[in-house]
Amino acid sequence: MPLLIRMPSYQIGITEINTQVRRLGYVSAILSILGNRTLSETLLYDRIQKWSEVHQEDLSAYINPQGLIKSTRMKSGVRNYTEFSVSLGLVAKVAGAYRVTRFGKVVLPFIAARRTPNPFKLSVAEKLTYFYWLVAKDTDRLFTVLNLLKAKPDTKLSTLQESFQDHYLRFLDARISAERERVAQEILAVRNTVSRTWSSPKRYAESIVPPRLNWLVDIGLVEITTTGQKRTNLTDAGNKMLRRLSDRNGFRYPDARWMNEGFFSTMGTILARVVGKKWSDLSKAEMDGHLLQETQEAFDLLRTSSAPKVSLQPALIYIALKLASKNKIWVDTYSLRKELEERANDSNFTYDVRFSYRENESYLIVRPA
């Protein structure tokens, strides 16, 4: 069975990010503003700016009111957050206009259904979505910060920034020793660049550490004290998450297998703060009922043409999010794929999983009548 999320080559992480890109709630706003539309850059930027002005008091009332999109002639704050949404893979820029990607579409229903009055306070589905893509796109820098907090609890931001380069290099060393040769060589090249060209390590860290700390605050894995000298710590959820990951040479970080087989079952119960149910605890009838309902919803959400098929991975992510958000049922994308494939000969089930070797992608298709 082909992996749902592959990490065959090394990704350095989300780079060129402005240090003021700190609130994931703005990503939800951008996705909501776009919806199913394609908007020009000018129109999108204007709408984001207006949204920020309307919700400025909400940000002021948020637990950590940093990262405000300020009103400027060049709209630099709007541009920075939009580029961040593109870096996450949730928004695409095509010919000067923006649209939500198939992976961004997955979270739209949950943004619309959010019950919290403050848009900067994310729902469980939003937290799961953003952490999923941060892990996939920014593993090493994000988990260097998390491991650094584990090693240096109750630490000032300035101390974290001073320590970041050394911790980052040791983290990359741990990765090199654990990876296949080709990937290890790519990581080594990054390590050498960090070691040789970061002439002012603390200055480099100033654009890396604060944004990630704040993203992790929004997700619920980190807390920053707001009184006196600001101190940063992992929350109980952050500590639980790290304990669930394998220790590799003194560092804890995820791999592709965990993303497929452990992410939603681990992070769902941690972020929702409820025990809930494991998928394996359900009866066959309960599984069938959920699969029929959520698969139909995923298909309706993601279908964009007359062809009776949608990309499999975003469909599975939607199903996992829906079960977590609505039913507090924790299931991983790998398990969902197996369940769908096992129903290939079930006449009561109307969907099949097909792998296209030409496109190197798996699809969820409507079974011919």
**Which residue matches tokens 């804890």?**
252
Per-residue pLDDT at 88:
96
Residue 9 pLDDT? 59
Please state whether 16 falls in left (phi above 0), alpha (psi between -120 and 50) or beta: left
Give the max Cα distance, the chain: 67
pLDDT single digits (tens) 123-157: 999 999 999 999 999 999 999 999 999 999 999 99
∠ CA 233-234-237, nearest 5°, is: 150
Q: Could you tell me the pTM of the whole model?
A: 0.95
The predicted structure's pLDDT at residue 2: 46
Q: Which of 201, 223, 205, 206 is nearest to 214 (CA)?
A: 223
- Residue ranges for the chain with pLDDT beneath 70: 1-10, 369
The pLDDT tens digits of the residues spanning 191-215 come to: 999 999 999 999 999 999 999 999 9
- Beta bridge partners, 197, equal none
